[in-house]
């Protein structure tokens, strides 16, 4: 029995682990955990409080997959509903459809009684407005004087754009769990890349790209540059590598190597390292796990009978791209 999650999923892991121990099936446990992250206004990459798209509107993507039944579903570009993973779970339970987007996803959520609200918090709005003001000299917005910038906003930009290349704009939560009978399930939820084009859909709601689960092999989910997972069907490919006998870490690192080799040169540094980052979280039905990262230090979360702890992700490249 085990739960794993991306670095930002502590509340989710605690909840999912507690539920799993009391006999809740892995998928329900994982989604209950993800719901807590979607509720957190300070987690600006997921659910309520997510950073909006280019037009200032929060659009959410999420999916669930159950490795026991091999069923799953996703919702994409969903507005005004803070729990997209729960909407995706309903879609899986109530229909034979696998993906709903935009207005259709919202209508489905509405039909299921999900509350509608403005997901844009005041802080996320101020971050977006600052981005509009600084991004170009060619538009109507004047760049604010450095000493007039709100400290909360300045801190967010420093964290996401002031650090190493590739850290900008990203964030998502992924959680996976397996029980003692070898049933495995996972979910991924995100507000996607900050300031994305309206209607842009990333990897998170797409089965096989942002997540995949199969009791016969294992599960994989991802954070980071979603387009790389969409182009490489990363989560599905990792699960197939597990099926072929690779360990979780071998499968994850082999996938990152394949992605790096296939990344267009204009997205890489001179040494061939992608400037974007990508993280894969892998779990097997017998409870072996790994977190891997394209580059740079990062941790992921693990909960099992030994407790809840942070473990280091294994990097493909020791050094960050230049």
Q: Which residues belong to the active site? A: 172
95, 75 Cβ separation under 8 angstroms: no
We find the least distance from the C-beta atom of residue 301 to ligand ASP, in angstroms, to be 16
- C-alpha to C-alpha distance for 62 and 46, rounded to whole angstroms: 9
We find the least distance from the C-beta atom of residue 245 to ligand ASP, in angstroms, to be 28
We find the least distance from the C-beta atom of residue 129 to ligand ASP, in angstroms, to be 21
- Residue whose CB is less far from ligand ASP, 49 or 171: 171
- Residue whose CB is less far from ligand ASP, 19 or 75: 75
Return the residue nearest ligand ASP (CB atom).
226
- Residue whose CB is less far from ligand ASP, 224 or 296: 224
CB atoms within 10 A of CB 213: 34
We find the least distance from the C-beta atom of residue 158 to ligand ASP, in angstroms, to be 18
We find the least distance from the C-beta atom of residue 203 to ligand ASP, in angstroms, to be 5
- Residue whose CB is less far from ligand ASP, 203 or 289: 203
- Residue whose CB is less far from ligand ASP, 203 or 240: 203
- Residue whose CB is less far from ligand ASP, 172 or 263: 172
As beta bridge partners, residue 65 has: 72, 186
We find the least distance from the C-beta atom of residue 225 to ligand ASP, in angstroms, to be 6
Residues near ligand ASP (CB under 6 A): 170-172, 190, 192-193, 202-204, 223-224, 226
């Amino acid at each position: 029995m085990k739960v794993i999650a991306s670095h930002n999923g502590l509340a989710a892991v605690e909840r999912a682990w507690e539920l799993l121990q009391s006999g809740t099936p892995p998928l329900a446990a994982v989604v209950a955990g993800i719901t807590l992250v979607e509720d957190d206004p300070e987690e600006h990459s997921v659910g309520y409080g997510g950073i909006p798209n280019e037009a200032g509107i929060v659009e959410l993507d999420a999916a669930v997959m159950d490795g026991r039944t091999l069923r799953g579903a996703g919702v994409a570009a969903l507005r005004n509903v803070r729990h997209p993973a729960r909407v995706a779970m309903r879609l899986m339970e109530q229909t034979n459809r696998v993906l709903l987007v935009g207005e259709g996803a919202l209508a489905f959520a509405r039909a299921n009684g999900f509350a509608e609200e403005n997901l844009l918090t005041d802080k996320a709005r101020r971050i977006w407005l600052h981005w509009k003001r600084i991004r170009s000299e060619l538009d109507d917005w004047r760049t604010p004087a450095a000493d007039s910038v709100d400290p909360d906003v300045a801190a967010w930009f420093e964290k996401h754009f002031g650090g190493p290349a590739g850290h900008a704009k990203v964030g998502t939560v992924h959680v996976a769990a397996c029980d003692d009978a070898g049933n495995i399930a996972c979910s991924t939820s995100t507000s996607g890349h900050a300031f994305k084009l309206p209607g842009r859909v990333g990897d998170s709601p797409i089965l096989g790209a942002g997540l995949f689960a199969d009791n016969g092999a294992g599960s994989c989910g991802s954070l980071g540059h979603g387009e790389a997972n969409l182009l490489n069907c990363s989560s599905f490919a990792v699960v197939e590598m597990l099926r072929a006998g690779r360990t979780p870490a071998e499968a994850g690192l082999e996938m990152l190597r394949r992605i790096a080799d296939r990344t267009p040169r204009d997205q890489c540094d001179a040494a061939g390292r992608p400037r974007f980052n990508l993280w894969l979280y892998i779990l097997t039905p017998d409870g072996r796990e790994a977190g891997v990262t394209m580059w740079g230090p990062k941790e992921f979360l693990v909960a099992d009978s030994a407790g809840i702890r942070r473990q280091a992700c294994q990097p493909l490249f020791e050094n960050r791209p230049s």
